[in-house]
Amino acid sequence: MHIESEQNVEAAQQLPIQRNRTIIVANQFISSLAESILYVAIMWYVYEVTSSALSSAFVVTLFILSDVFLGPFVGVFVDRLNPKTGMHIGYAIMTTIGVLLSLVYIFSIDYFLVFLYLAIIIHNVGGTVMGSSKNKLLPHIVGYNQVVRTNGFISSSGQVASLLGNTVSGYLFSIIGFIGVVLMHSGAYLVASLLLFLIVTSFGQKALEKNEEKQTKKASFSTELKEGFLALKKSKPLLKTVILFSVVNMTTLAGSLIVVLIKDHYNGSSAQYGLVNALSLLAGTLMGLMIGKITKFVKTNVLFISALFLAGIAYFGAGITTNFYIGAFFLMFFAASNVVVGVMYNSMLILFVEEKVRARVTTMYGAIMGIFIPPFTILGGLLADQVGIAPLFIGSGIWLILWSFFPMIDKDMKGLKRLDISENR
């Protein structure tokens, strides 16, 4: 676990925590908005050009596979930088990709689709650089004891931004076209990057430069990569958590097909699909706002057990019922449970891992967690065509319920205390 030094405590007490929290939440809101707008625009464009569901699925797979195979190497790079610099570099990569996409679209449309697939990978690398750098920066702008609460706010704002982006992207695509959307996305990332200059950290610029110089002088790339793996292996609770989540992520064979559940199983409309998204957003946002207070009173393993169990009940119930409104109620519970799990593991990565290897551990964590998502997403599509969507949700619900007992019986996860820095010194 991360040990908070007296120097860090003293520095944190001098931080303008509320101001920093507001800025970083706004920063992540803009980032999530830009990402969701671009994602929907890309999906629309690819399907419009190819008329192929397989091509659209390939886009989703590229997003995941770039995390799985490139993420750990990106983590080594990020750990050589100070976190603010890392976030600026991530934003610069994503902003540049938007501009390049526009130029290639204008001057070389014949090869645009190939470049688009390549751009998705590079853009996702930029997002990984930004995200893992943010995890390193967070304790230095709000203090370790405010990490969980701040992650909750970030999660809530991110959900609002994603829903807003998903809602307006289609309209923007029809009004200003693909070029307009990607340039707007680049502008949003530029604003998010500029916001970082307003943040006050717990260390000065000289300390940042000294840290960057120290990281650059480290051992070889492969040695640093190994250090990240050993750090993850050393933290038994984190290692067990990433194994648990990688197995739980097999349920994406159902989770990626909610639109099919609503349309075919509930005989719902696109408006009802929008209602489910809105209700899920509401549930997730409320949970994100409350999670900081909940973690002060509830042990971490109990939260994991509860969240996974409720998620399992939600999927099972959503598959059993044929009533849209009951199904929407279950999916709300799933969204709330998903936020609990997301905030908890993000906070554990910050509180339980030393800063010098945090980016490497974060990206390795993401790579291992996502390894089953692409094949099970494709498998879900194939099975849904053969047996229908309901059995997939019922089976996924049972799978989640079974694995919810793992934090109860595993000695390392059972020993997890509350995610409160004073408990984990």
**Per-residue model confidence (pLDDT) at position 3:** 44
Distance CA 350, CA 8 (A): 14
Q: Indicate whether 217 pLDDT > 60.
A: no
Phi-psi region of 321 (alpha: psi -120 to 50; beta: other; left: phi over 0): beta
**Per-residue model confidence (pLDDT) at position 373:** 83
Distance CA 94, CA 74 (A): 15
Looking at residue 372, what DSSP letter applies?
Answer: T
Distance CA 27, CA 134 (A): 10
Q: Indicate whether 211 pLDDT > 70.
A: no
Which of 65, 183, 184 is closest to 125 using CA atoms?
A: 65
Q: What are the pLDDT digits (tens) for 175-208?
A: 888 888 889 999 999 999 999 999 887 654 444 4
Q: Indicate whether 320 pLDDT > 90.
A: yes
Q: Please give the helix or strand (H or E) that residue 179 lies within, else none.
A: helix 147-195
Question: Can you name the CATH fold of 228-419?
Answer: Growth Hormone; Chain: A; (1.20.1250)
Distance CA 309, CA 398 (A): 9
Domain pair 1-218 / 228-419, same fold = yes
CB 224 within 8 Å of CB 218? yes
**Per-residue model confidence (pLDDT) at position 421:** 44
Distance CA 262, CA 341 (A): 24
Q: What are the pLDDT digits (tens) for 218-245?
A: 556 677 777 777 877 787 888 888 889 8
Overall average pLDDT of the 12-34 stretch: 84
Q: What is the pTM of this model?
A: 0.72
**Per-residue model confidence (pLDDT) at position 221:** 65
Q: How far is CA 380 from the centre of its chain?
A: 21
Q: Indicate whether 425 pLDDT > 50.
A: no
Distance CA 97, CA 119 (A): 6
Overall average pLDDT of the 51-62 stretch: 67
**Per-residue model confidence (pLDDT) at position 15:** 66
Tokens representing 291? 């999670």
**Per-residue model confidence (pLDDT) at position 1:** 46
Measured in degrees and rounded to the nearest 5, phi and psi for residue 405 equal -85, -10
Could you tell me the pLDDT band of residue 384, with boundaries at 50, 70 and 90? Answer: confident
Of 277 and 35, which is predicted with more confidence?
A: 35
CB 130 within 8 Å of CB 90? yes
CATH class for the domain made up of 1-218: mainly alpha
Q: Indicate whether 74 pLDDT > 90.
A: no
Distance CA 187, CA 165 (A): 14
Q: Give one DSSP letter per residue of 78-112, joined into a string.
A: HHTS-HHHHHHHHHHHHHHHHHHHHHHHHH-GGGH
Which amino acid appears at position 84 of this protein?
K
Of 32 and 170, which is predicted with more confidence?
A: 32
Distance CA 23, CA 199 (A): 7
Q: Indicate whether 165 pLDDT > 90.
A: no
- The structural domains of the chain, with segments of one domain joined by +, span 1-218, 228-419
Which of 276, 66, 29 is closest to 165 using CA atoms?
A: 29
CB 392 within 8 Å of CB 383? yes
Q: Indicate whether 290 pLDDT > 60.
A: yes
Which amino acid appears at position 104 of this protein?
V
Question: Considering the chain, what is the average pLDDT of its residues?
Answer: 81
